[in-house]
Amino acid sequence: MTANVIEVNNLEHKYGDLKAVDNISFTVQKGEIFSFLGPNGAGKSTVINILTTLRKLQKGEAKVNGYDVAKESKYVRKSIGIVFQMMCLDYEMTVCENLEYHGKIYSMPKEERRKRIDELLKLTELDNKRNTLAKDLSGGMKRRLELARGLMTKPAVLFLDEPTIGFDIQTRMRMWEYLREIKKEGTTIFMTTHYMEEADQLSDRISIIDHGKIIVTGTALELKNQLGEDLLYLETSDNKAAAEVLRTIESVTAVDDDAKSLRIMLGVDVTHILPKIMDSLRQKGIEITTVNIKKPSMDDVFVHYTGHDLREGYTQEKPEECETVEALK
């Protein structure tokens, strides 16, 4: 089997005149946690829906686990697990029954089901909730049960759409631990998120996606390093004039003058260049009122590549819930 578990070439998707996915290409390697990081409306769900065969591919090519999503959807579905924002548990069934039922649908033999359920309930720390009805679980537990269900069949690839949306930071961090454990089992993980720290902490590689396009791809460290050694924030008596002076200084790789503080990217350690910066500004009669230095964060990376803050205009949504599947009662 190819080392690329997901291969996407020139994927495009339109809703009427709206191009939601605009000529996207990327690969995900076996055993990776790969994240699509982007704001609401960036096109993340459309891509994940196409890859999981829930939405028909319109244009381009996509392969999951070596299978073509357009022509071999049945085999794609067999090799993946899905944990989506829409909760699709049967609330009138217990934790154990939800997993049992899922295993049965996928024709898992009884012994294998039992064994896998035991493993997964341990992993997701739901062991003591085995006989609790899904409707009586907390929000975090419901998502963990979704996760366990997605993993029942030991899928080669697990797809997660905003796995921790609406969670508090503790619950989110526990979810990250489970996902790291799943990675250790050899599962490849493709996820979407709008949480910077989630992409940063969890992913082997990240694609920043905005307006249907992949803007940049790399490890969190690579993306941050591309912004330079240090970021310098300056407030001055005249930011526009200061920006012009700064742009002429070698080792200043970029200057962003849109906010109250000038954001200056440096190609060298700040201690080497700060005296020169101070002198150059003073010579032009520009007064420096505040100086701040920090290492580039994912927020900085995002602003740098997209030109806007991820949180701008983002509205947090509660996950939708599926109606109970009548046939399962």
Give whichever of 46 and 187 is closer to ligand ADP, judged by the CB atom: 46
Q: Does 255 bind ligand ADP (CB under 6 A)?
A: no
Write the CA distances from 315 to 41, 170, 260, integer angstroms.
Answer: 11, 21, 24
Q: What is the DSSP letter of 307?
A: S
Q: Smallest distance from the beta carbon of 76 to ligand ADP, in angstroms? A: 19
Q: Does 23 bind ligand ADP (CB under 6 A)?
A: no
Q: Does 306 bind ligand ADP (CB under 6 A)?
A: no
Compute the distance between CA of residue 126 and CA of residue 274 in angstroms, rounded to an integer: 54
Q: Does 304 bind ligand ADP (CB under 6 A)?
A: no
Q: Does 43 bind ligand ADP (CB under 6 A)?
A: yes
For ligand ADP, the binding residue among 45, 53, 124, 188 (CB under 6 A) is 45
Give whichever of 31 and 41 is closer to ligand ADP, judged by the CB atom: 41
Q: Does 163 bind ligand ADP (CB under 6 A)?
A: no
Q: Smallest distance from the beta carbon of 158 to ligand ADP, in angstroms? A: 18
Beta strand 33-37 with 188-193 is parallel
Stretch that binds ligand ADP, among 44-52, 60-68, 151-159, 313-321 (CB under 6 A): 44-52
Give whichever of 22 and 97 is closer to ligand ADP, judged by the CB atom: 22
Q: Smallest distance from the beta carbon of 51 to ligand ADP, in angstroms? A: 12
Compute the distance between CA of residue 169 and CA of residue 139 in angstroms, rounded to an integer: 14
Torsion of the alpha carbons at 251, 256, 261 and 267, rounded to the nearest 10: -20
Compute the distance between CA of residue 130 and CA of residue 109 in angstroms, rounded to an integer: 20
Q: What phi, psi does 243 have (nearest 5°)?
A: -60, -40
Q: Smallest distance from the beta carbon of 20 to ligand ADP, in angstroms? A: 3
Give whichever of 84 and 178 is closer to ligand ADP, judged by the CB atom: 84
For ligand ADP, the binding residue among 28, 44, 69, 153 (CB under 6 A) is 44
Stretch that binds ligand ADP, among 13-21, 25-33, 76-84, 220-228 (CB under 6 A): 13-21
For ligand ADP, the binding residue among 40, 132, 251, 297 (CB under 6 A) is 40
Give whichever of 39 and 150 is closer to ligand ADP, judged by the CB atom: 39
Candidates 144, 171, 151, 172; CA nearest to 87 is: 144
Write the CA distances from 176 to 184, 197, 203, 213, 315, integer angstroms.
Answer: 12, 11, 10, 26, 23
Q: Does 15 bind ligand ADP (CB under 6 A)?
A: yes
User: For the chain, how long is the longest CA-to-CA vector?
Assistant: 80
For ligand ADP, the binding residue among 29, 30, 41, 79 (CB under 6 A) is 41
Neighbours of 16 (CB within 10 A): 6
For ligand ADP, the binding residue among 33, 35, 38, 300 (CB under 6 A) is 38
* CB proximity list for 112: less than 8 A, separation 6 or greater: 103
Compute the distance between CA of residue 317 and CA of residue 98 in angstroms, rounded to an integer: 25
**Positions in the binding site for ligand ADP (CB under 6 A):** 15, 18, 20, 38, 40-46
